[in-house]
Amino acid sequence: MSYLSPLLNRSGAVQAGGLDAGVAAHYGDPNREQRLLAGYLGKPGSALVDLSHRGVVTVSGPDRLSWLNTLSSQQLTNLAPNTGTELLLLTVQGRIEYDARVVDDGETTWLVVETAEAEPLAQWLNSMKFMLRVEITDVSANWAVLGSVTEVPEWDKFLVWVDPWPHLAVGGYSYATIAEDQHPGLERPWREYLVPAAELETAVGQRPLAGVWAAEALRLAAWRPRRGAETDEKSIPHELDLMRTAVHLSKGCYKGQETVARVHNLGHPPRRLVFLQLDGSLHTLPAPGSEVYLEDRVVGRVTSVAQHFEMGPIALALIKRTVDPDAVLMVDDDGEKYPASQEIIVATDAGQVVGRQTGFLRAPR
């Protein structure tokens, strides 16, 4: 049976679809909810986002961190309790299979993933434990996730994952062309609280709620990629600027490491994530998956779309790395055309870092 959040009983709730089926897209006023979530109506964090459809997998046992370290792209051996990080599980070819939010409470490591990925992730991890002292459990039915842009002081008893984005993690590397202190992701500090499912409605109480449309608009404005939206069967972390938060470049061996290192040091990713500011005169939004054109040539596809309360219609798209960053692109949604200007997330010269001085790439000429 498909999941339906009890918070859908709130007045005005309209259920979302796609990756967010089972929770509310909005509660009747998406624009106001987004302003409230971002802190433009009252103090930041006064609204919560129902993410109770998310998958949650726990890994317990004394070998949990060292074991996850050998499997993933992230350095986890000495992960401090209550410190949020992100890991990728890759194919041998370096393609992204899982992207998990990670926090450890000192006894258990918690992995928060997209709804459909919890069960297969738990099964795969169980197949890989061999004789190690670890226990893997899909606890999605027992735990709910609530999102906020800031700390909720009275929720000290709940474990919280603090999104490391866009801060450059130890061992990470930035493919941006802007200074780190100018990254738009700094305007979206993001937290996800793990709340017992049975306490979800009580924990929320009378606090105002914002739908996932509001959360998605802030995510896009922060250039934050999402598994299942910005990824496909060919995605590698370099294309999405995930090298900054999800990949430790000097840790030990893991599946996919050779490809990660080769593209980073000697090659270039074939595609790059880009932020698009769409023409808002049509008063509609293109659908995710719409083709992106440069003149009469298809150069990519839209991955996520939102209506931002300040910027209007915005999108993330995956396009060919070599596309001129100054070119005005055209998004075609079944004949409806939207002119789109680019902001660079992943630089056109991403990769080939051998000989570079820093994890900061050249701005385009």
Domain boundaries, the chain: 270-344
Q: Per the structure block, which two tokens stand in for 261? A: 């290192």
pTM, rounded to two decimals? 0.95
Could you tell me the pLDDT band of residue 356, with boundaries at 50, 70 and 90? low
Q: What CA–CA distance (Å, rounded) separates 235 from 240?
A: 8
Q: What is d(CA 349, CA 88) in angstroms, rounded to the nearest whole number? A: 23
Locate tokens 């109506």: which residue? 41
Quick: pLDDT tens for 209-226: 999 999 999 999 999 999
Distances (CA, A) of 362 to 187, 328, 349: 23, 21, 8
DSSP summary character for residue 237: G
* pLDDT higher than threshold 60 for residue 360: no
d(CA 87, CA 69): 9
Q: Find the range with the poorest average confidence among 17-26, 42-51, 79-88, 141-150.
A: 42-51
CATH class of 270-344: mainly beta
